[in-house]
Amino acid sequence: MKHLALLAALLAPIPALADVDPADWDAVTAQAEGQTVFWNAWGGSTTTNDFIAWVGSRVAEDYGVTLEHVKLTDTADAVTRVLSEKQAGQDDRGAIDLIWINGPNFAAMKGADLLFGPYAEELPNWALVDFENKSVQTDFTVPVEGLESPWAMAQVVFVHDAARMPDRLGSMEALLDWVQTNPGRFSYPQPPDFLGTTFLKQVLIDILPDASVLAEPATDVNYDMVTEPLWAYLDELTPYLWREGRAYPATGTAMFPLIADGEIDLSISFSPGAASTAIANSELPDTVRTFVLDNGTIGNASFVAIPYNSGAKAGAMVVANFLMSPEAQARAQDPEILGYGTVLAMDKLAADDRALFDALDLGIATLAPAELGSVQAEPHPSWMTRISDDWVARYGIAQ
């Protein structure tokens, strides 16, 4: 028994080590050195893959943290993984240290107590974040409460090849008209793909006289009534889609080659700078431009979160903090690299950091911040889940 007690005493410091205090940044960086962080992030876009690889080389250089990009086809896979680890009692050395996340997946993980934190607002670079004007403290109406840290701003834009389709469209009704007169020239990614579902929400927000109902959770009582116009709209739209709606592109990036080949003239993107980036990578012709609707479009932030059972929380926080650094943010906004919107407030930056952003040429297809118009809030996640399931049942199984 004596031996056991001794053993217990020896082992005791280890769990204490695992739970580092986010507020003690020196302790965090000290512990992070030598850790390997498995970042589970969607791997379908080669530009984001390149960016993540760059982040890995930078945190290795500055903090001795090794970053491994686990390329997901669907972020839900990572949620499943953590959930099943919890059920299997794997509480301290889970397979995932960091997840690129937002919306329903965040809501699910927060609801199931699968996240470490609060930590986000303790990170040194949080002081530079524009939390006053950008929606980084709520995620699809769900309060963030420091359980995830923002690293990119996204907003729906429509991508069109101006050589073939010169004029922008002002509303979803106008889009329906245009598609009906130009059959086969528009498509959207197949739900439950994130961007595909976003298109459905964008339709709903734009055609509803009052979209405020979407800020509250969907109920059995109001769901059918609220979404009825959406299904009516899609029933009219679908026969005129690319391939008559019998096939859909798998993701947003899969639509770029379709535009480049002239298969479609119009598509949608969640990243205002992505089209310029694609032009730089020869994936799109330089005649491509973007536009937003008259009433604005949906916007949200991309976050990273740390699972409760990560074995490298300190390393993960170092990566999360680096993602909010002016260096990483300016690189992400560079259309030659990613073209993502920054989460930082320009007036909080030092002069030479701000110069990094001022030097960027946002690219020929990227709208200036003022042209992006008003940002519409994401509906509550419950809408997204139900609409997506319903879409699969209605259009995902061609009969």
Partner 1 sequence: MSRRRLLPLLPALTLLAMLGPVVAGLWGTFLPAFGHLPAAGLTGPSLDPFRDLFGWAGLPRAAMLSVGTGVLATVISLAIVMLVTAGWSGTKPFRALERLLSPLLAVPHAAAAFGLAFLIAPSGWLARIASPALTGWDRPPDLLIVQDSWGLTMTAGLIVKEVPFLLLITLAALGQADAQRSVRVAQALGYGRLTGWLKTVFPRVYAQIRPPVYVVLAYAMSVVDVAVILGPNTPPSLSVQIVKWMSHPDLSMRLEAAAGALLQLALVIGALVVWRLGEIGVAALGRRWIASGARGRADPVVAGLALLAGSVSALAVFLGLVVMAIWSFAGFWSFPDALPNDMTFKNWARFGPGTLKALGQTALIAVTVALAGLILTIGCLEAEYRHNIRVSQRAVWLLYLPLLIPQTAFLPGLQTLMLNIGADVGRVPVMLAHLVFVLPYVFLSLADPFRAWDARMGVIAAALGAGPDRILWRVRLPMLLRPILTALAVGLAVSVGQYLPTLLIGGGRVATLTTEAVALASGGDRRAIGVYGLMQTGAALVPFALALLIPALVWRNRKGLRHG
Q: Which residues bind partner 1 (CB under 8 A)?
A: 38, 40, 43-46, 49-50, 53, 70-74, 76-77, 79-81, 83-84, 87-90, 95, 105, 108, 183-184, 190, 242-244, 246-251, 253-258, 260-263, 281-283, 285, 393, 395-399
Beta-bridged to residue 300, according to DSSP, are 154
What is the chain's percent helix, strand, coil content, to nearest 5? 45, 15, 40
Write out the H or E segment, with its range, that includes residue 384.
helix 381-395
End-to-end CA distance of the chain: 69
Per DSSP, the three-state class of 4 is helix
For 209, other C-beta atoms within 10 Å of its C-beta total 5
Distance of CA 358 to the CA centre of its chain: 24
Per DSSP, the three-state class of 341 is strand
> Which DSSP symbol is given to 129?
B
SS3 string, 174-227, reads: HHHHHHHHCCCCECCCCCCCHHHHHHHHHHHHHHCCCHHHHHCCCCCCCHHHHH
Whole-number Å distance between alpha carbons of 349 and 336: 23
